[in-house]
Amino acid sequence: MVSIFAGEAKDLIDRANRPQSLIITIYGAYSRSLGGWLSSSAIVSLCAELDVDEASVRSALSRFKRRGILISKSQNGIQGYALSPEARKTFELGDTRVLERREAPRDEGWVLVVFSIPEKNRALRYQLRSRLVRVGFAQVSGGLWIAPRQLTNDVIALAKSLKIEPHMSIFSAHHLAFKSTQAVVAEWWDLDGIGELYKSFALTVRPIIRKWFTKKITKPDPLEAFIDYTRVLTNWRHVPYFDPGLPKEYLPKNWPGFPAMDSFFRVHDLLAIPALSHFHSVAGKTESKNTKK
């Protein structure tokens, strides 16, 4: 079993303070409403509200450009960065996973992935295994991996993004014998580790829940909403990818994923719209000033 969740749970505490993570959230959650492009000054201004200094922002932008996540692009004589086509596809595929409530599905079968990547491409093989875990798959043995059937589109998109279609086959399957499905699920997935990841998220969101819901605020201040929602979303957006979305009957009792999900969507439902409104006011105002110059 691939066990990475202890490190991920610890990492979750710091993620919402990292320039790279916050910039990715800004592009994924907000920029697509403006076509996926933002001026450099707009990104700097928005990150300043999240207590990130300009030097750190520009350094992160350069790294994203080198990695092909962002593309340097000018619009109306204004320098900025746009999402690459690949990054846009990743966000579009992830919207359902991150921003829609996931109900525990019925057992509708499984998707199996078999791959064989030549030894000379060992780095690619390692990357694929790491990405499969981060999509929610579990390793059965060697090159055989499994997930609930609803993750079929995710793994197809993953194979295409890594250009490994010639080395992979995908099957649908049902569990027939001999152990119970609950027993093999517990063997293949580190449910305790995934649960700890949810618990870590719950700790990070607790102060935000207390702040907004103790006073029963119905009209959030847009700037405060932007700051809090961006940080919460930055922590949340990784978590659903590690969770395969197993049927409820295969999960431990008192599964921490359910209350953690409820906490995120309480924040999302209250703050997402005013946060987007603030983003538009800053991005639009910044670009207007640059145009006048």
Whether 187 is covered by a domain: the verdict is: no
Confidence of residue 11 (pLDDT cuts 50, 70, 90): low
Whether 167 is covered by a domain: the verdict is: yes
CA gap 243, 181 in Å, rounded = 17
Per-residue pLDDT reduced to its tens digit, 169-179: 999 999 988 99
CA gap 86, 20 in Å, rounded = 18
CA gap 68, 146 in Å, rounded = 30
Whether 184 is covered by a domain: the verdict is: no
Q: Is 100 helix (H, G, I), strand (E, B) or coil?
A: coil
CATH number where 118 lies: 3.30.70
Whether 151 is covered by a domain: the verdict is: yes
Which three-class secondary structure string do you get for 101-131? Answer: CCCCCCCCCEEEEEECCCHHHHHHHHHHHHH
Range in 21-25, 162-166, 181-185, 222-226 the model is least confident about: 162-166
Name residue 172's beta-bridge partners: 111
Domain range for 153: 110-173
Whether 153 is covered by a domain: the verdict is: yes
pLDDT recorded at residue 242: 87
Q: Are 137 and 147 in contact (CB under 8 A)?
A: yes
What pTM did the predictor assign? 0.85
Whether 143 is covered by a domain: the verdict is: yes
Per-residue pLDDT reduced to its tens digit, 145-168: 999 998 998 899 888 888 888 888
Whether 166 is covered by a domain: the verdict is: yes
Task: Give the total number of structural domains in the chain.
Answer: 1
Q: Which amino acid is at 242?
A: F
* DSSP secondary structure letter of residue 17: T
Whether 50 is covered by a domain: the verdict is: no
Q: Are 201 and 14 in contact (CB under 8 A)?
A: no
